[in-house]
Amino acid sequence: MSSPSRKLKFKAETKKVLDIVINSLYSHPDIFLREHISNSSDALDKLRFEMLTTPELDADRELRIDIVPNEEEGTLTVRDNGIGMTEDEMARELGTIARSGTRSFLDDLTGPDGEKTPEFIGQFGVGFYSTFMVADKVEVVSRKTGSGESGYRWTSTGHDTFTLMEEEDIPDGTSVKLHLKKDMDEYLKSYELRELVRKYSDFISYPVFIKSEDDTDWEKEPVNSQKPIWTRHEDDVSDEEYNEFYRHLSFDPQGPLSRLVFHAEGTTEFYSLLFIPAARSMEMLMPDYKTGVRLFIKKVMIEEEADELLPRYLRFIKGVVESSDLPLNISRETLQENRTVSIIKKALTGKVIGLFQDMLENDIGKYNKFFTNFGDMIKEGIYSDIQHREELADCLLVWTSRSGDEQKSLKELVEELPEDTDRLYYITGTDRKELASSPYLESVGKSDVEVLLFDSPVDEFMLQSLGEYRGKKLVSLLKEVDDDDLTDAEKAEKKNAEETFAGLLEYIKDSLGDRVEDVRFSPRLKESPCILVSDKNDPGDMLRQMMRSMNQEVPEAKKILELNPVHPIIETLQDLYEKDRSGDRLKDYVQILFDLGTVMAGSRPENPADFGRRITDLLK
C-alpha cells in the first residue's frame, strides 16, 4: 500500500538559499561530496550511539558509506546505513534551514546591489543544498532505523517545491541520488571520486566504498583510512587534512587560525584536537549557537556539543575530545559532575591558554587577528575564571596613550616598566581616539606615564575583577584617588595642602554646595589645575548605561572635584581668599574651575552662557 505523494513548498529562507546556491558560480563544486559523506557519517554516529541503549539495532551490521556512480543514468548515489529519517524529519530537515535567525542574517548579507556572497553559504549549514550545484534533481530515500515504519522518498529539482512519497521495501538508512547536471559527469568517474574522498573525507571513521561507474564491481577496500584524525600523531597528518576535518566539524568555509593536538597520558588518558576559528562565524552570532566540542567515548560519539569540556568563555573553540576513561552510559547531567570530565576540562583549559600565549609570543600578526575576533571572550574569562585570571591577563592586547594604531601586549608593556612602578593607570570610554586625547591623561603627566585605554563594554567588568596585574595596581584616572594608593610623600603633600589652604577648601565646598560630592586635594594631578572624578565605588558609565538598558534605576552620581595643590591657580585663589573673600571674583573663579572640570570630563558646563560670560570677563 503506497500513499499518494505530497507536494510541499520550501520555506521562504530555504528557497532563498537554494537560489543563491544554484545561481552562484560556486568555485568549488567538489564540496558537495564531502557534505554528503559528512551527513552520512553523522547519521552513522547517531546510530552507533542509539545502539548503546538499544542493542537490538546491532544486528551485526557493518556501518558503512557507499558511493555508487551510474554512467548510464547519469546519477551518483551516496548511501549509508545510519540512523535514517522519518517522514517528518525529511520534510523538516530537508525542507527548511532549521537554524533560527538564518533569515535575518541572509537579509543582513544583502549587498547594495541585492547580491549575496556565495562564500557565506557554508556558514548556514546548508550543506545538503550544495547538492544543487551539481545536480538538477535529487532523490533522497530514507527509513528510520529500528522504527519499524516504512520509508519515504523525497524528490526535488531545487525549485519551489519538493515531494514526499511513502516507499516500501527499502533498507534502513539514507540514500541520496543525484541526477547530475550535463557538465558534471566527471563525478561519475570512480578514480575522480576516489581522489575526492581521500582529499576531503579520509578521516571519516566509517569505511567508504566506491562502486565502478558501470555499476558492476565494488572496490574491495574502503577508500579512506578511517583512522580518527585526533588519535594520529601530528607529524603524520598534513595541514590540509586537519583543515578538512575542521570544515567537517564547523560550518566555516575558511580554514582554522590555529590548532591544538594534545594526547594526555597517565591516570587520565584522552585525545584532543581543538581548533581556533579564523573569525567569528555567522553561526556564532546566532541565538541558538551551539557551543562545545564533540565528545567520543570508546569510538562512539556521545555528544556533538559537549560544553562541559571547556569553560564557557572558550565557546569559540571547535574540536573533538575522545576518552576511554568515561563510562559509555554517561548522560549530560552526570557529565557535569564527573571527576574525569573536570580533569579533562582543567587540562584542556591550560593547554588552550598556553596556545594563546604561544601565538602571542611567536606570531603577533596572527595573534592580532585572533584578539580582534575573540579578545572579548578572553576578557570574559578574566572575570569568570579566577583560577586562570593572571594567565588570561597575560594574553591581553591593550590600547595605550602611546600605542598608535597597534595594540600592545600588556605583559610586554609591564615587563618594560621601571621596577618601582606600582600602578597601572587607565581610562575607560567608548571611542579609542577620543580616549587617546582625553584630558584625564594630563592628570598624571601625559609625557611621563603610559596610560591604558579601554574602549569595549566588557572592559569595565574585566578591570573590576582583575584589580591588579603582576603586582601593579590598576588605577582608573576617572575615579577619586584612594588614600591607600598614595605614596608617603604624596600623603604628606596632601596633608600640607589641606592645612595651608584649609579656609579656601571650605569656601570652595560651600560655594559649590551640592553640585559636588566633595572637594579634595589630589597630589596625583601634575599638569591640570583640577579634575572631576567619580566616587571609587561608582560602577562606571558603561555599566550604568547597561543597567539602565535593563530598566534598573541608577542615579547619576555626583562627582568629586580634585584640585592640584601645586598649581598656580590655587595660589591665585588663595590670594583672593585672603584679600577679598566676600567679593564676586572668587565666587566666579571657583565656578570657572568647576566648569573647567566639567568640560575636561567631556561634558557641557551647567550653564554655557554663564561660563562664556565668566571667561570673557576673565580675558578682559
Cα 142 to the center of its chain, rounded Å: 37
Q: How is residue 556 annotated by DSSP?
A: P
Question: Minimum distance between the CB of residue 127 and ligand ADP, rounded to whole angstroms?
Answer: 3
Q: Strand, coil or helix: what is 78?
A: strand
Element (H, E) at 612: helix 608-619
Q: Does 49 bind ligand ADP (CB under 6 A)?
A: no
Which lies closer to ligand ADP via its Cβ, residue 93 or residue 490? 93
Q: How far is the CB of 172 from ligand ADP (least distance, A)?
A: 11
* 42 or 485: CB nearest ligand ADP: 42
Choices 34-42, 180-188, 264-272, 536-544; region in contact with ligand ADP by CB under 6 A: 34-42
Burial class (CB in 10 A: 0-12, 13-18, 19+), 240: exposed
* Segment interacting with ligand ADP (CB under 6 A) among 119-127, 295-303, 442-450, 484-492: 119-127
Closest by Cα among 559, 570, 572, 567 to 603: 559
* Nearest alpha-carbon partner for 178 in 223, 218, 140: 140
User: Does the footprint of ligand ADP cover residue 126 (CB under 6 A)?
Assistant: yes
**Residue number with CB closer to ligand ADP (82 or 375):** 82
Contacting residue, 33, 76, 94, 138, with ligand ADP by CB under 6 A: 94
Those residues whose C-beta lies under 8 Å from the C-beta of residue 469, and which sit 6 or more positions away, are: 390, 393, 410, 414, 424
Among 174, 190, 428, 591, binds ligand ADP (CB under 6 A): 174
**Binding residue for ligand ADP (CB under 6 A) from 14, 39, 156, 443?**
39
Smallest separation (angstroms) from ligand ADP to the CB of 302: 18
CA dist 361 and 381 (Å) reads 20
CB of 16 to ligand ADP, least distance (A): 14
Q: How far is the CB of 126 from ligand ADP (least distance, A)?
A: 6
> Residue 41 or 591: which CB sits closer to ligand ADP?
41
Q: What residues contact 182, with CB distance under 8 A and at least 6 apart?
A: none
Interface with ligand ADP, residue 93, by CB under 6 A: yes
Which cell numbers in the block locate residue 473?
Answer: 595596581
The span from the CA of 93 to the CA of 97, in Å, is 7
Least spacing, CB of residue 18 vs ligand ADP, in Å: 11
Question: Least CB distance from residue 290 to ligand ADP, whole Å?
Answer: 11
CB nearer to ligand ADP: give 81 or 438: 81
Torsions phi, psi for 268 (to 5 deg): -115, 125
**CB of 34 or CB of 520, closer to ligand ADP:** 34
The position carrying cell 558534471 is 184
* In contact, 34 and 201? CB cutoff 8 Å: yes
The residue with cell 532549521 is 98
Interface with ligand ADP, residue 245, by CB under 6 A: no
Q: Is 127 in the site for ligand ADP (CB under 6 A)?
A: yes
Rounded distance between C-alpha atoms, residue 135 and residue 158, angstroms = 9
Closest residue to bound ligand ADP by CB: 127
| 141's grid cell | 530515500
Cβ closer to ligand ADP: 82 or 540?
82
- Among residues 69 and 82, whose Cβ is nearest to ligand ADP? 82
**Residues 162, 165, 168: CA angle, nearest 5 degrees:** 150
Q: Which is nearer to ligand ADP, 142 or 476 (CB)?
A: 142
Least CB distance to ligand ADP at residue 83 (A): 6
State how far the alpha carbon of 453 is from the alpha carbons of 165, 429, 442, in Å.
63, 8, 14
Our finding on whether 102 is near ligand ADP (CB under 6 A) is no
What HEC string does 156-206 produce? ECCCCEEEEEEECCCCCEEEEEEEECHHHHHHHCHHHHHHHHHHHHCCCCC
Q: How many helices (H) and strands (E) does the chain have?
A: 21, 22
- Determine if 172 is a binding residue for ligand ADP (CB under 6 A): no
CA distances for 391 relative to 105, 356, 394, 585, angstroms = 36, 10, 5, 56
Under the binding rule (CB under 6 A), the answer on residue 125 touching ligand ADP is yes
Among positions 80, 380, 480, 538, the unique one binding ligand ADP when judged by CB under 6 A: 80
- Piece of the chain touching ligand ADP by CB under 6 A; list 39-47, 325-333, 483-491, 518-526: 39-47
Q: Report the nearest approach of ligand ADP to the CB of residue 198 (Å).
A: 20
Distance of CA 13 to the CA centre of its chain: 25
Q: Is 201 in the site for ligand ADP (CB under 6 A)?
A: no
Owner of C-alpha cell 591577563: 393
End-to-end, the C-alpha distance of the chain in Å comes to 104
User: Binding ligand ADP by CB under 6 A: which of 13, 20, 33, 35?
Assistant: 35
| Beta carbons of 289 and 101 less than 8 angstroms apart | no
If binding is defined by CB under 6 A, does position 40 make contact with ligand ADP?
Answer: yes
User: Half-sphere exposure of residue 446, counting CA atoms within 13 Å on the CB side?
Assistant: 13
Q: Considering only residues 37, 68, 85, 297, which one is a binding residue for ligand ADP as defined by CB under 6 A?
A: 85
Verify binding: residue 128, ligand ADP, rule CB under 6 A. yes
User: Hey, what's the cell of 40?
Assistant: 552520512
| 197: contact with ligand ADP by CB under 6 A | no
CA-to-CA dists, residue 275 to 14, 146, 247, 321, 572, angstroms: 29, 36, 10, 12, 64
Residue 256 CB, nearest approach to ligand ADP (Å): 18
Span of 35-43, 215-223, 324-332, 513-521 interacting with ligand ADP by CB under 6 A: 35-43
Residues in 417-456 at the binding interface with ligand ADP, rule: CB under 6 A: none
Is 283 one of the binding residues for ligand ADP (CB under 6 A)?
no
C-alpha cell at position 145? 532505523
By rule CB under 6 A, what count of residues binds ligand ADP?
Answer: 16
Nearest residue (CB) to ligand ADP, 103 versus 558: 103
The nearer residue to ligand ADP, 269 or 304, going by C-beta atoms, is 304
Choices 37-45, 147-155, 236-244, 389-397 (CB under 6 A): range interacting with ligand ADP: 37-45
Contact 131, 176 (CB under 8 A): yes
Judged by CB under 6 A, which stretch of 38-46, 69-77, 155-163, 183-191 contacts ligand ADP? Answer: 38-46
By beta-carbon proximity to ligand ADP, the closer residue of 39 and 401 is 39
Cell of 528: 591640570
Which residues of this chain interact with ligand ADP, rule CB under 6 A? 35, 39-40, 43, 80, 82-85, 93-94, 125-128, 174
